[in-house]
C-alpha cells in the first residue's frame, strides 16, 4: 500500500473519529471529582484500569520523566507529557466548549542536553495539540479500554508484553523509547487518593511506575544516539480548579534502588501545608505513605527567571528522619522554565519550572547519590 493511500486513510479515520466525538458529547457522563471512597477509587486501584482515559474526570495527565545516557556517558534528561481535557465544564465566553470540542489532547516534549556547549541547545521544548493547535488537539486520541495516547504522531502505548513504547518528534529531533517496569504500580497519597487543597473536592487520583528500565534512540542535531537509563511514569486524574498557591513535586531515584516522591503544597501564607505528603518505595517495590510532619525541606538558593521574573527555589535539602535520609538536590540546568504561552497545556497549567535534578546525601549514615525531577508551579 502506497504511503499516499495510507496517509489518506489515516486522515479519513481521524476525521470520522472527530465527528463521532462531536456527536457523542451529550452522552458523556457528568464530570465528578476524586473521592476517597466509592467505585471510582476501587477501579483506580486496579493496575489494568489506572492508566487508561476516563470520561468522567476533567483533567488527566501522563508524565514520562527520565535520565538517559549513551555508551560514551553523554547524559540527557527527557520529559514527555500528555494531557487530556474533557470539556463538559469549560466555557469560551458564553459558549460551552464541549460544543466545539468534547475533549482536547495535547503533548509536550522537553530535552535536556547537559553537556552541549551551545546554551540554546541545552534545553529544548516542543509541543503538539492543545488550545493553541486545535486541529491537532481534536485529532488526538486517548483510549478508554487500554493505555494508548496519541496526538500529532506522538504516542505512548502499552504493548502486549507489558512494556510501554513512547515516541515524539519536533524540528527534526526524535525520541523513541521502550520502557519496562522494574516495580509494580505505586499509588500516591492514601492508596491513590491525593488531597490537593482544603476543599473536599480538591483532590486527584495519582499513581506511577517509580522505576522503569529504559532503552531506545534519540535523534538530536542530525546524530542518532542509542541510549539506556531509567524513567518515572506518573499519572493524575482530577476534576478541580488549579491551585493559585505554589506547589512542588519531587520524584527522586536513589542509587540504593529506592525511590521518593514528595508533593509539597503551600497555603495562603506560602508555608508548607499539612496536606503535603509523599511516598517511599523500597527495593522490593513496597510503598509507604509519608505525611507532612515526617519530612522537611530547606532552600539554600533561588533562581529568578529573566523572562517571567518568577523566583524559583532551586537548591533544596530534604530530610526524612524516619528513613534516616538526607539529600541535597540541585538542577542540572537552572533555566528550565516552560512559559504558559509556549505550552500545549495553556490555559490549564500556567508558567512553571520543570526539569531534571541531581542529589547527594546519605541514607542511614551511608553516602549516596540520586537523580530525579522537580516541578514548580504557581511561582509567578
- The whole-angstrom separation of Cα 158 and Cα 113 is 27
pLDDT at residue 132 in the model = 61
pTM score of the predicted model: 0.90
Question: Hey, how many other C-beta atoms are within 10 angstroms of the C-beta on 323?
Answer: 18
CB of 262 closer than 8 Å to CB of 161: no
- Residue pLDDT, tens place only, 54-105: 999 999 999 999 999 999 999 999 999 999 998 887 777 787 777 777 788 9
**Percent of the chain at pLDDT above 70?**
88
The sign of the torsion formed by the CA atoms of 46, 51, 52, 53 equals: positive
Least confident segment among 133-142, 174-183, 186-195, 215-224: 133-142
The whole-number average pLDDT for the span 44-55 is 95
The whole-number average pLDDT for the span 119-138 is 78
> Domain segments of the chain: what residues?
3-377
Question: Hey, how many other C-beta atoms are within 10 angstroms of the C-beta on 108?
Answer: 26
pLDDT at residue 196 in the model = 87
And the C-alpha cell for 33? Answer: 471529582
CB of 354 closer than 8 Å to CB of 339: no
Cell 539554600 belongs to 300
The DSSP-derived string for 281-304 is E-TTS-EEEEEGGG-EEEEEEEEE
Task: Give the strand pairing for 103-112 and 75-86.
Answer: antiparallel
**In whole angstroms, how far apart are CA 225 and each of 73, 119, 174, 240?**
11, 20, 10, 41
| CATH for 3-377 (3.40.50.1970, 2.40.370.10, 2.130.10.10, 3.30.70.260) | 2.40.370.10
Helix (H, G, I), strand (E, B) or coil at 22: helix
The DSSP-derived string for 66-126 is EEEE-TT--EEEEEEEEEEEE-TT-EETTEEHHHH-SEEEEEEEEEE-TT-SSGGGSEEEE
And the C-alpha cell for 69? Answer: 545516557
The sign of the torsion formed by the CA atoms of 362, 365, 367, 371 equals: negative
Amino acid at each position: 500500500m502506497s504511503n499516499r493511500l495510507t496517509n489518506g486513510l489515516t486522515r479519513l479515520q481521524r476525521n470520522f473519529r472527530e465527528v463521532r466525538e462531536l456527536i457523542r458529547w451529550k452522552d458523556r457522563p457528568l464530570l465528578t471529582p476524586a473521592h476517597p471512597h466509592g467505585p471510582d477509587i476501587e477501579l483506580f486501584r486496579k493496575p489494568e484500569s489506572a492508566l487508561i482515559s476516563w470520561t468522567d474526570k476533567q483533567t488527566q495527565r501522563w508524565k514520562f520523566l527520565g535520565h538517559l545516557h549513551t555508551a560514551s556517558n553523554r547524559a540527557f534528561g527527557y520529559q514527555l507529557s500528555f494531557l487530556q481535557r474533557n470539556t463538559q465544564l469549560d466555557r469560551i465566553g458564553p459558549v460551552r466548549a464541549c460544543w466545539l470540542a468534547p475533549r482536547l489532547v495535547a503533548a509536550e516534549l522537553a530535552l535536556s542536553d547537559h553537556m552541549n556547549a551551545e546554551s540554546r541547545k541545552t534545553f529544548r521544548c516542543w509541543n503538539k495539540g492543545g488550545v493553541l493547535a486545535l486541529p491537532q488537539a481534536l485529532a488526538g486520541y486517548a483510549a478508554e479500554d487500554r493505555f494508548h495516547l496519541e496526538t500529532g504522531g506522538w504516542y505512548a502505548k502499552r504493548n502486549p508484553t507489558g512494556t510501554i513504547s513512547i515516541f515524539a518528534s519536533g524540528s527534526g529531533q526524535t525520541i523513541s523509547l521502550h520502557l519496562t517496569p522494574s516495580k509494580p504500580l505505586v499509588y500516591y497519597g492514601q492508596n491513590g487518593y491525593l488531597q490537593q487543597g482544603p476543599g473536599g473536592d480538591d483532590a486527584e487520583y495519582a499513581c506511577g511506575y517509580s522505576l522503569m528500565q529504559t532503552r531506545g534512540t534519540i535523534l538530536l542535531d542530525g546524530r542518532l544516539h542509542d541510549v539506556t537509563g531509567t524513567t518515572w511514569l506518573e499519572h493524575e486524574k482530577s476534576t478541580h480548579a488549579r491551585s493559585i498557591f505554589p506547589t512542588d513535586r519531587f520524584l527522586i531515584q536513589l542509587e540504593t534502588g529506592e525511590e521518593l516522591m514528595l508533593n509539597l503544597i503551600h497555603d495562603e501564607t506560602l508555608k508548607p501545608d499539612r496536606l503535603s505528603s509523599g511516598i517511599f518505595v523500597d527495593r522490593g517495590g513496597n510503598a509507604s505513605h509519608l505525611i507532612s510532619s515526617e519530612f522537611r525541606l530547606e532552600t539554600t538558593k533561588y533562581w529568578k527567571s529573566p523572562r517571567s521574573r518568577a523566583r524559583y527555589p532551586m537548591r533544596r535539602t530534604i530530610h526524612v528522619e524516619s528513613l534516616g535520609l538526607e539529600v541535597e538536590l540541585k538542577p542540572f540546568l537552572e533555566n528550565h522554565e516552560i512559559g504558559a504561552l509556549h505550552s500545549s497545556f495553556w490555559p490549564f497549567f500556567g508558567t512553571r519550572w520543570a526539569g531534571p535534578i541531581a542529589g547527594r546525601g546519605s541514607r542511614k549514615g551511608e553516602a549516596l547519590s540520586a537523580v530525579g525531577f522537580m516541578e514548580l508551579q504557581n511561582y509567578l
